Amino acid sequence: MTNLNTSLRKRRRSTDPMQEFDRLPRPLRQWLSQAALPWSPRSVRKLWAGALARYDGCENSALAHLSQVEAKRLSHDTSAHRIV
């Protein structure tokens, strides 16, 4: 039983997500703890690395990018649940 009501794919974990979470940089852990979606530490780490590279290592810009990505994914999920 799950308490998530989403049309997004669910995935099985092959590693301990808490250990992966603990290894994330502090700003990323803080962002993830407030995230609306159930991000895996592995996937958010990839997005974080890409955003840091894109924004010349600026953590604030990288965090803003992650929030934009999450908002876009939420909008796709919301549109899938709209009643026509």
pLDDT for the residue numbered 81: 59
pLDDT for the residue numbered 16: 80
pLDDT for the residue numbered 11: 65
19: its two tokens: 């250990």
Q: pLDDT digit of tens for each residue in the chain (84 aa)?
A: 455 666 767 766 567 878 999 999 999 999 999 999 999 899 999 999 999 999 999 999 999 999 999 999 999 876 655 555
Domain ranges of the chain: 41-84
> CB–CB of 48/65 below 8 Å?
no
Handedness of CA 58, 19, 10, 36 (dihedral sign): negative
Note if the pTM is more than 0.85: no
49: its two tokens: 């690395």
